[in-house]
Each structure stands twice: as C-alpha cells, then as structure tokens.
Amino acid sequence: MSVASLDIPAYVTGEWSIDPVHSEISFSVRHLMVTRVRGRFTAFSGRIVTDSDPLKSSVVAEIDASSIDTKNADRDSHLRSSDFLDVAAYPTITFRSTEIRPLGQGYLITGELTLHGVTKTIALETQVEGPASNGKGGTVVGFTATTEINRRDFGVTISLPLEGGGVVVGDQITIQLDIEAVLNS
C-alpha cells in the first residue's frame, strides 16, 4: 500500500524524538477483583522514524522500569522488587516495532516488547494526530496507542490469592500511550 493510497494529510517524513514532558505511558491492572489500580512511568525516551511509505516507518522506545509511579510509595517499592518488575535485574523495558499496517482510521503497530527479561510480540492500536507547529518553530505529532498484555507471559508470576477466591493483582494489564514527538532538525 502506498502513501497516496493511505491519503495522510500533511504527512512529514523524518526522525522524531518522544517529548517526555508532553507524553505519558500509563497502565491499569485489576486490584482485589473489584477495581483498577492505575500507574505510569515517569522516565522514558524513544525515536520514531517516518518513512516516505508510512508502513515502513519505525518506533523504538525505552522505559526506566524504576520510574514506576502509582501514587503509593510502598506499592511502588513492591512493584520494583523481584516479585514484579525486578528493576535491579531488568532496569529497562523496551519496545521495537516490526510492522505497521492500517487498522480502521488508525494503525496497528506490531513489535517486540521486552519486559522482565522476556521478549514477546505485542500489537498497539494507534491513532495519529498532526503534525502541528509547537509554537517554537518546531513540528510535533501525536500518537495515542493501547494494548493489553498478560503479566505472566513476561515472567511476572507472583500469585497473591484472596481468601474466598480471586487474587490481589490481576494478570491482564492495560497499557495506554499518549505520545507527543518532536521532529528533529
């Protein structure tokens, strides 16, 4: 499929850097089988290369696993421990795209996610906004992406059963990315 057949208004090719000040990588997971705990990572970086054929573009991102923040210091310490992320052994979470294809009004970005020392293929349902001027002479573009992973697939297998059934922490983790990227000059 060519650029012309995708009909992307104001498409810009080049190398883009994720702007961590205007971006967020967040997640949610079922807690005590009744609600969701939400959190985010506060330190991350990434590079997006937009090719003349959008479907040949690429994404590489790194997350500092120790930057996890759920607004509860005790829980964050536990999540950094060997029970969960084991940031001493696996300090970085990485994503590298392997394929981009159209999906409805957006794209499906498939790639390799490495978490807790395990690499698995995931797919991110992605919407693109922009490009636009950042008001400082630069060009920005926005991406919103979502996916769901099973923590057990990545070797995070701690089981904290509840009396009477269920578990303290669910297996399914919903990941939400709100990314603003700046075109490198």
Domains of the chain (ranges, CATH numbers)? 3-183 (2.40.128.110)
Q: 163 or 78, which is more confident?
A: 78
Mean pLDDT across 64-89: 96
Chain mean pLDDT for the chain: 91
What pLDDT, on a 0 to 100 scale, did the predictor assign at position 1?
Answer: 38
Mean pLDDT across 177-182: 97
pLDDT tens readout for residues 32-73: 777 899 999 999 999 999 999 999 999 999 999 999 999 999
Confidence of residue 5 (pLDDT cuts 50, 70, 90): very low
How far is Cα 95 from Cα 19, in angstroms, rounded to an integer? Answer: 16
Backbone angles phi, psi at 67, to 5 degrees: -85, 10
Distances (CA, A) of 144 to 88, 135, 136, 160: 30, 21, 23, 32
Q: SS3 for 13?
A: coil
What pLDDT, on a 0 to 100 scale, did the predictor assign at position 33?
Answer: 73
Confidence of residue 29 (pLDDT cuts 50, 70, 90): very high
Percent of the chain with pLDDT over 90: 75
Name which of 89, 87, 109, 98 is nearest 43 in CA terms: 87
Is residue 6 scored above 70 in pLDDT?
no
Mean pLDDT across 79-102: 97
Burial of 182 (0-12, 13-18, 19+ CB in 10 A): middle
Percent of the chain with pLDDT over 70: 93
What pLDDT, on a 0 to 100 scale, did the predictor assign at position 4?
Answer: 38
Neighbouring CB atoms inside 10 A of 49's CB total 15
